[in-house]
Amino acid sequence: MSTSANRGKEAENLVKKRLEVLAKSANVAWHRPPDMRSGSFQPALCDFLLLQDGQLTLIEVKQTAHDFRLPHGNLSAEQVGRMRVWEMAGARCYILVYHSGIKQWRMEDVGYFSERTGGSWDLRPLSTRRLEEILV
């Protein structure tokens, strides 16, 4: 498998494991929709759908080796747009970024990623946290 095909797999697997723990509660369900890597011909809406206490949350997981930047190429404007449609319909939509070098996470509403200036987003204004602090 190529390096680009492996990009983000570590972060996605960590999120999957965390959701499996949360799903032991009766008020939590989650789903991993198929993406193009798994043979889908449609672009995926997000990496994970989470239903918790009656609230639908779309989570797109991104991974970067940089301590505080996420390149624009890692998150397409089209995907942001697809998620914004669901947000306007009432779903919560988040981009969850794993910084593999510092082993910390940042999560922000998809709207934060609508603005594209330069070649990457500076995520320093967003606090870093452990995954267990974000997905509770």
**Tens-place pLDDT, residues 6-56:** 667 999 999 999 999 999 999 999 999 987 665 656 788 999 999 999 999
Q: Whole-number mean pLDDT of the chain?
A: 92
* Contact assessment for residue 96 and residue 60, using Cβ atoms and an 8 Å cutoff: yes
Q: Can you give the pLDDT at residue 1? A: 41
- For residue 4, how many other CB atoms are within 10 A of its CB? 8
Per cent of the chain over pLDDT 70 is: 90
pLDDT of residue 72: 98
Rg of the chain in Å (alpha carbons)? 14
Is the pLDDT confidence value at 95 over 70?
Answer: yes
- Flag whether pLDDT at 117 surpasses 50: yes
pLDDT band at 2 (very low <50, low <70, confident <90, very high): very low
pLDDT at 92: 98
pLDDT score, position 52: 97
pLDDT value of position 59? 98
Three-state secondary-structure class, residue 38: helix
User: Which is nearest to 100 in space by CA: 62, 136, 47?
Assistant: 62
